[in-house]
Structure 1
């Protein structure tokens, strides 16, 4: 496992700060990673995802295109694709504002920037996959703790899309947050609208959420 991450402060070095300031600090920290550090982190993440029991039988997995220093899931995708896994990207729902639907992601698929400037496949009724029909969802975190507290970009898209999982957990896909290990902090409040995670996977380990 790569040791480059030791050059960054640990969660114990972070003073208590408001959520918006913590979000800013953690985003700045991951943007400072060099291409080589990002490459090493992504390779280690891939190995930890392959060992994650929540993904062993998953065949339909939602993924994301990394930006802003987010850890890159593409090395994992390349390995899992050889095992017959199909991947999907989130698409802003044109009818239900604030929610996501998922479209197939593969080499050569045409992508267009949405209103946030994030590339996504075209919305297609024939190809879209609703949230409940996925086996697992891998999405980026800005910060997290070991008790399931998490910090995202603040849009709430995943929480609204997977709100049904609180009432019907058996029908919900495995929700797995991805992050660099240094994005772990001591504690984050769990808000009433937060959809519970099954685990958080980093370049160093898998954190099971109790």
Structure 2
């Protein structure tokens, strides 16, 4: 019998929390270095601030900005798709809904994601068909429906969080690839920046 979404979430999050701090820091540095091969200076990137042991670490938005990207971070509304606010540095972040760090600037509407060249999508796990398992709130599935046709959707994960199969439903939005500390896993739709 196939595991349910909550079962997969629990297993992955338990494994993720068991990664020693020194190894977590090394993995996060590797992800941020590999972003240099993905980010084109001047590109617009919808990103997020990883927490709870998520790959990339809390410095991820700053690493993107240091590579020359214009970075937008999500702002969670009470319902509906995510809004987006411009990232102005780690020191500018404040706690938002659910305690998630958000920029101090007012959020723009959900449609702002349509302008993104790259969307980094927080994920618990992804399978080799690009099916993504999130935290269960549905914010990203509703938001990714608004992404432009040229936007690349990329999950950032530890290698062991790329699974053979992730349970999915028709409303779940797939990603084009996964960036791990070991490199970029392309699901056949990724085009590297020129």
TM-score range, shorter chain: 0.7 to 0.9
1:119 aligns with 2:101: yes
Distance in 2 (alpha carbons) for counterparts of 1:151 and 1:126: 26
Residues 122 and 184 of structure 1, relative CA distance in 2, 3 Å threshold: same
Distance 1:32 1:197 in 2: 26
The structural deviation recorded for 1:74 is 5.2
In structure 1, the partner of 2:117 is 135
List runs of 5+ in structure 2 lacking aligned partners.
189-194
Once the two structures are superposed, residues 98-134 of structure 1 have per-residue CA deviations (whole angstroms, 9 ceiling, x without a partner) of 21011011223141331x2222234626799811122
Q: Is the 8 A contact 1:201 1:207 kept in 2?
A: yes
Shift of 1:196: 2.9
Structure 1 stretches of 5 or more lacking a match? 1-14
d(CA) in 1 for partners of 2:167, 2:107: 37
**Deviations along 1:21-77, whole A, 9 cap, x unmatched?**
11101001111112211111111112322223xx33662212211222111255554
The aligned residue for residue 10 of structure 1 is: none
In the alignment, which residue of structure 1 is the partner of 2:157?
179
Q: Select 1:194's aligned residue among 144, 150, 172.
A: 172
| Corresponding residue to 2:149 among 169, 179, 186 | 169
Q: Deviations over 1:144-196 (max 9, x none)?
A: 1111122110111111012134xx624xx221111111112111244321223
Please give the root-mean-square deviation of Cα atoms over the aligned residues, in Å: 2.6
Secondary structure class of the residue paired with 1:21: helix
Aligned-partner SS, 1:176: strand
Separation of aligned partners in 2, 1:109 and 1:128? 21
TM-score normalized by the length of structure 2:
0.82
Find the counterpart in structure 2 of residue 7 from structure 1. none
Question: Rg larger in 1 or in 2?
Answer: 1
